[in-house]
Structure 1
Amino acid sequence: MAVYTVHGPASYYGTDVRTAPEQLVFVRDGFYFWAFVASILWLLWQRLWLATFGYLVITIAAEIAMWSFGVGSGTRFLVMGVIALLVGLEAGSLRRWKLSRRKWRQLDIVVADSEEAAERRFFERWNAKTARDGNRGNASSPPPLPRASLTQSESVIGLFPEPGASR
């Protein structure tokens, strides 16, 4: 199961998400294979201009440094592979960073098998929240994250061994 973060523009926050759901962006957290295999193309495709510039600066600086020290081709390949691996691992964070720079807000976090399932879960929770609040025309806050409820018979891991115990 993948974790998705749901983002919407700042002007979108506080409006009903059902009016323009195509504006929402779902960003998967995890490893992006295409960002690893073709880093520069993936960065350009996602329109991550600052990240593309940073990637070019780092790779060119690494190549110049390895050339000046007379490093062999195997080590050069390994260093470039590590840089590509880092891009693949941080691709989702780079997309979230771009959205935050554009003043987009994170509306929710959803766990699902696919992006389509994440969309379904997000809108189900959002609709449930608006129905619960009795305010169907204007949802002013994102849906609450699911929380586990504990009964008195269940134990709690951490500093307080019993639910409701004195501190």
Structure 2
Amino acid sequence: MPAYTVHAPSPGGADLRATDKFVFVRDGFHFWAMIFGPFWLAWHRLWLALIGWVIVVAAVHAGLSSIGVGRGSILLADIVIALLMGFEASTLRRWTFSRGKWRQLDVVIADDEDTAERRFFERWSQKQRGIVNDQWAVDRGGPPPTRNMPGQQFSNPPPLPAGGIIGLFPEPGGSR
């Protein structure tokens, strides 16, 4: 099963409403990064890695050509660089996130990204319940809210209006 690392932007803090900015990076070999290396780097906005890739490929080509190596050997060097790109693609993404002041929150083992998200948010929301008092989060699987729970906006009943009861019967037990 693949492992996913979860990254979040640091300036946002531990706010439950910023979860749409979390990024899940799959660890392992990336086939499309091997086949379309520079396009994959540009798609994921890994600009410094893209510049490094261009410099390395140009240096390898120039170096091998200057010593008189044949085209077959240069092709073999390109295949090795492509394989390295496929193996190190997720490391380059993590490196870019760490440079951009992102923090790694967790590592999740799952079959696919959707399952990884579900597992991560189940664990993370349980940890955050005690830390963050989030008025917008609703636990759909829990019991209905009750009164006198600290931190809940619906814990205290609303105050009665100045005139008493509002409705068809302004006085309890009164006639129509």
Structure 1 position 28 matched with structure 2 position 26: yes
* CA–CA separation in structure 2 for the residues paired with 1:12 and 1:93: 24
Letter in 2 for 1:26: F
CA contact (8 A) 2:4 2:116 kept: yes
* CA–CA separation in structure 2 for the residues paired with 1:25 and 1:12: 14
* CA–CA separation in structure 2 for the residues paired with 1:22 and 1:136: 17
Q: How many residues align?
A: 134
Q: TM (normalized to structure 1)?
A: 0.76
Equivalent residue for 1:83, pick from 81, 84, 92: 81
Partner deviation per Cα, 1:20-76 (whole Å, 9 max, x = no partner): 321000000000101000101111111111111111111001111111111111111
* CA–CA separation in structure 1 for the residues paired with 2:120 and 2:77: 40
Correspondence list, 1:1-167, <5 A: 1-16=1-16, 19-131=17-129, 133=130, 135-137=131-133
The RMSD of aligned alpha carbons is 1.3
* CA–CA separation in structure 2 for the residues paired with 1:23 and 1:114: 19
* CA–CA separation in structure 2 for the residues paired with 1:88 and 1:23: 25
CA contact (8 A) 1:44 1:52 kept: yes
Larger radius of gyration: 2
List runs of 5+ in structure 2 lacking aligned partners.
Answer: 135-176
Identify the structure with bigger relative contact order (alpha carbons < 8 Å, sequence gap 6+): 1
Displacement after TM superposition at 1:92 (Å): 0.3
Percent same amino acid among aligned pairs?
50
Q: TM (normalized to structure 2)?
A: 0.72
* CA–CA separation in structure 1 for the residues paired with 2:115 and 2:49: 29
Letter in 1 for 2:9: P
Letter in 2 for 1:11: P
Displacement after TM superposition at 1:136 (Å): 4.9
